[in-house]
Amino acid sequence: MRLGTRWTSGDEPPRAVPEALARGIRSVDQAIPSDELGQPRPRWTLTWLEGSPIAELDTGVVVSLGPDGVAQVSHDPEGLG
């Protein structure tokens, strides 16, 4: 069993995150506009599904690895609900 973890968007992903997934996460983080009103940044949640890492942002953005090992970004409109 592998345990997941959480971290704040914009922070460096934990070492448990595979590098290919971390690249996808960083690209999403860079696309998030800075908040001028001081709102807290969303948080990432890393989980493992059948041995594959999946990172989901509180906003519903999901980064997973495709069959070719390249990060894929999608959106779950329900968020972490």
Q: Are strands 71-75 and 61-65 parallel, antiparallel or unpaired?
A: antiparallel
Residues in contact with 63: Cβ distance below 8 Å, sequence separation at least 6, in sequence order: 21, 24, 25, 28, 54, 55, 56, 57, 71, 72, 73
pTM value is 0.84
- Contact predicate 53/21, CB 8 Å: yes
Assign 44 to helix, strand or coil.
Answer: strand
pLDDT for res 33: 77
pLDDT per residue of the chain (81 residues) written in tens, 0 to 9: 577 899 999 999 999 899 999 999 999 999 987 766 677 889 999 999 888 999 999 999 999 999 999 999 998 766 544
